[in-house]
A = this chain, B = another copy of it.
Amino acid sequence: MTKRRSDRANSLDVARLAGVSIAAVSRAFTPGSSISDELAEKVRRAARQLNYVPNSLASSLITRQTNIVALMLPRMSNPIYAAMLAEVSRRLEELNKQVLLFTPSDESDFDRSLGRMLEYQVDAIVIAAATISNRMAALCLDRNVPVVMLGRHVPGLPVHSVRPNARDGGTRAAELLLRGGGRRFGIVAGPSSLTTMVERQRAVVDRLQAAPDASVVAIVDGGLTYEGGYEAALAIMDRADRPDSVVCMTDIMALGAMDAIRHRLSLRIPDDVAIIGFDDIAEAAHASYSLTTVKTPLVEMVGHMIDLIAMPETDAAPRIVEIDAELVVRRSTRAAHPAAQ
């Protein structure tokens, strides 16, 4: 005698049991609606008796609001994305909204994920560490679904974006290393397909090239993973003019680089080699690493994202919010070098 799903009570069942109209049931479950306390109480009693739970699908069909925000978040391997997700979810739940998660494994899945988001009638779409095709962006715009890109900006795309000021962060990272006496620089790069990584690297390189006696002696892709950072550091350090400073485009690669430098090459950090990363993931603060890094200001970014998706529906120009980078100085970099001052 399996209980079938259609045995679930609906508002009509509740209305009948309570001896009221179906509208009364709806109002009893809608805070602030015009209903007397007695009637509301009568409805709630009947509802409890029938194990009634309002069907928010039916409700959303009418109100055109699901209280669901889609989040596209690929490559969960990097802890910064987990932190981003946690913050996004936390802030949205404060507003009684939920995150519907999409983790496409491949760029070819992006459009399919976006399509499914629209089918679910989500109230907004947040895209982290991924991009969106022009076609889908236009479709979202047409349907009046706000889209916010978190952490990067693609010029010309009609979507909002919130991102840290990579140029500023990269510049300050480079300057810190220069002040610490750095002259020969290695770079552990991210994939060139990610604009965020390219911007960070460009900012760092630009500032280094502006220094008369500094030079970038090696750039190796670290593939955005710990292992990739480890290998990249080995490749970078294996040369006659060994770098005295290494900039990693993400912390997770920086951790790999530090471990390679210390445990494989037996060099000291920061004495032999100074290291700096980007993101400020939790592990960067661990005593084993104590990594100096350019922080990705998640809390502020998500705060602005919330504001953007709450904006009144207009087809106004997409907003670009840029947040100042904060340099978190720890012990993987040298203090100001006397000679450099």
Interface residues of A (CB under 8 A from B): 2-6, 8, 51, 53-58, 60-61, 64, 66, 68, 76-77, 79, 82-83, 85-86, 89-90, 93, 98-105, 115-116, 118-121, 139, 142-144, 226, 230, 255-256, 258-260, 262-264, 282-283, 286-289, 313-315
Q: Would you give the shortest CB distance from A248 to chain B, in whole angstroms?
A: 14
Point out the residue from B2, B90, B105 that lies within 8 Å of A103, measured CB to CB: B90
Whether A289 contacts B288 by the Cβ 8 Å rule is yes
Whether A288 contacts B258 by the Cβ 8 Å rule is yes
Whether B2 contacts A314 by the Cβ 8 Å rule is yes
Given A288-B289, A313-B2, does the pair A55, B99 have CB atoms closer than 8 Å?
A: no
- In the complex, A6→B313 CA distance in Å? 13
Given A120-B57, A314-B2, A315-B2, does the pair A93, B89 have CB atoms closer than 8 Å?
A: no
Point out the residue from B8, B53, B68, B115 that lies within 8 Å of A100, measured CB to CB: B68
Instruction: Provide the residues of chain B in CB contact with A93, threshold 8 Å.
Output: 102-104
Q: Would you give the shortest CB distance from A142 to chain B, in whole angstroms?
A: 5
Point out the residue from B64, B105, B256 that lies within 8 Å of A5, measured CB to CB: B64
Point out the residue from B85, B105, B115, B144 that lies within 8 Å of A90, measured CB to CB: B105
Whether A143 contacts B315 by the Cβ 8 Å rule is no
- In the complex, A101→B57 CA distance in Å? 17
- In the complex, A276→B183 CA distance in Å? 41
Which residue on B lies nearest to A264, using beta carbons? Answer: B287
Point out the residue from B4, B61, B118 that lies within 8 Å of A61, measured CB to CB: B61
Whether B120 contacts A56 by the Cβ 8 Å rule is yes
Instruction: Provide the residues of chain B in CB contact with A5, threshold 8 Å.
Output: 64, 143-144, 313
Whether A55 contacts B86 by the Cβ 8 Å rule is no
Number of copies of this chain that the complex holds: 2
Whether B315 contacts A288 by the Cβ 8 Å rule is no
- In the complex, A116→B93 CA distance in Å? 11
Whether B68 contacts A76 by the Cβ 8 Å rule is no
- In the complex, A287→B309 CA distance in Å? 42
Whether A56 contacts B288 by the Cβ 8 Å rule is no
Whether B61 contacts A57 by the Cβ 8 Å rule is yes
- In the complex, A139→B98 CA distance in Å? 21
Whether B288 contacts A263 by the Cβ 8 Å rule is yes
Instruction: Provide the residues of chain B in CB contact with A115, threshold 8 Å.
Output: 53
Whether B315 contacts A287 by the Cβ 8 Å rule is no
Given A76-B82, A98-B100, does the pair A121, B90 have CB atoms closer than 8 Å?
A: no
Whether A101 contacts B119 by the Cβ 8 Å rule is no
Q: Would you give the shortest CB distance from A299 to chain B, in whole angstroms?
A: 14
19 sampled A-B residue pairs with Cβ under 8 A: A2-B144, A6-B64, A51-B142, A53-B143, A55-B61, A55-B119, A55-B121, A76-B83, A76-B85, A76-B86, A76-B89, A79-B82, A82-B85, A89-B103, A93-B104, A98-B116, A99-B100, A99-B101, A100-B100
